[in-house]
Amino acid sequence: MIEYHDKEWGVPVHDDNTLFEFLVLEGAQAGLSWETILNKRVNYRRAFHNFQPGKSRPLREQRRPTSPR
């Protein structure tokens, strides 16, 4: 947690993948502690293809449930 605070928090970011990562983590954090989210960060990286938006988008399309007829 200290490493995150000292090396990432408040540091300007211009990389799209890093911005996407922070967006996903912020959304996941709602109601949880940052420590919990940071402990699961590796799993989020795996689930979101290392936070590459172009690779993550097709996942949503593949998992979209079909509407009942």
Taking the model in full, what pTM does it have? 0.62
At residue 14, the pLDDT reads: 92
Rounded-to-10 torsion of CA 8, 10, 11, 14: 100
Digit-by-digit pLDDT tens for the chain (69 residues) are 778 778 877 889 899 888 888 888 888 888 888 889 889 989 988 888 888 877 765 555 555 555 555
Q: Please report, in angstroms and rounded to a whole number, the separation of the first and last CA atoms in the chain.
A: 49
The set of catalytic residues is 4, 26, 34
How far apart CA 26 and CA 30 sit, in angstroms, is 7
How far apart CA 22 and CA 19 sit, in angstroms, is 5
Report yes or no: 51 and 45 within 8 Å, Cβ to Cβ: yes
